[in-house]
Amino acid sequence: MEKGSKMKPIGQTITLHFISGRPDGLRTGEMPNWSGHVLVVPRTEEDALKSRVELKRSGIYIMIGEVDGRSAAYIGEADDLSDRMGTYRSAREKLWRDNTVFVTDVGNRLHKTAVQYLESRLVDLLKSARRVEKVANGNTPKLPNISPYERDAMESFLADLLVVLPALKIEVFERLVRDIEIKKSPTSTEVRFVRESKKLKGKATAVIRDGEFIVEAGSVGSEWRSAATHHVYAGMSQRLISEGVIQKRDDGGLVFTKNYKFSSPSAAAATIIGRPANGFTEWKREGTQQTFADWEASQQSDT
């Protein structure tokens, strides 16, 4: 391979099993040539835990839910996951969980220091991703002393785990803020969308990058209107302001200080406009009147 050349992305195969017949129910995820196994258990289906043989292994558990109206998560490790969950099922301080994710090795080869390493790394990733408002762990557990070989093995295990989790709708480790370079040259093939604001005499721009909708730094928007303060996206806007992703302007407007990945065009549009909005019609392809919905339809017709 020539110096400076980039390797093409390698496709990944993930095996998902929807045990309850629903993508949001009891489900598992695995990958070929990966020894890991992921089990996601909604709280309403925790009676099934007794029959899950993989929970007799050592591993990691990730609790996800809400505490006092704020999204929350907790990460722990155990030598026997079934024993640990038996304790938590009756403990009031953990009753906030909606889903629990169990990460094990099919050969039960995750020894104590291995799961401690994974626990520490996952807590650190959870905090840096800033997807949840409350990380119930408090301090990040210290990394255990392990050999370079074991560290590399655990980092490889972790890399595959972070591919499987989003496929199971576990996205708490996915970073939202992206400090990425976005090309703006005339020869760039990147698709850019614009939302003009006549009131603020500015605009917001966004690009599609690897299937993600990213609003660019410098984009201008409006503060959230008081009539819709209880809408889910109103809370998102306030969180981005508190995190410094968005700054308030003297004219009542907002400006993005960083590139930010949204879950959908509508989430981005609502945050930009300051009210619930349909991003599929609000965003227009730069230099045209083509809506995001029309552009997306054209992409599907071309395939």
Could you tell me the residue ranges of all domains in the chain?
Answer: 15-167, 192-302
For residue 73, pLDDT over 70 is answered with yes
**Who contacts 73 (Cβ-Cβ below 8 Å, separation ≥6)?**
62, 63, 64, 65, 126, 132, 134, 135, 136, 172
33 φψ region: left (φ > 0), alpha (ψ -120 to 50), beta (else): left
Report the alpha-carbon distance of residue 296 to residue 265 in Å, rounded: 11
Query: Rounded mean pLDDT of the chain?
Result: 83
Q: In the prediction, which pLDDT does 86 show?
A: 73
What local confidence, expressed as pLDDT, does residue 3 receive?
A: 45
Pairing relationship of beta strands 253-256 and 246-248 according to DSSP bridges: antiparallel
Q: What is the pTM of this model?
A: 0.62
Q: How far is CA 171 from the centre of its chain?
A: 3
Q: Supply the angle between the helices 148-167 and 112-129 in degrees, to the nearest 10.
A: 50
Residue with the bigger pLDDT between 253 and 242: it is 253
Q: Where is 222: in which H helix or E strand?
A: strand 220-222
Unique residue bearing structure tokens 């996601």: 40
Q: Is the pLDDT of residue 302 over 90?
A: no
Compute CA distances 268 → 51, 154, 219, 262, whole Å.
42, 36, 11, 6
Predicted local distance difference test score (pLDDT) of residue 22: 87
Q: Is the pLDDT reported for residue 267 higher than 90?
A: no
Task: For residue 177, name the pLDDT band (cuts at 50, 70, 90).
Answer: low
Of all residues in the chain, the percent with pLDDT exceeding 70 is: 85
Give DSSP secondary structure letters for 232-259: HHHHHHHHHHHTTSEEE-TTSEEEESS-
Between 29 and 302, residue with greater pLDDT: 29
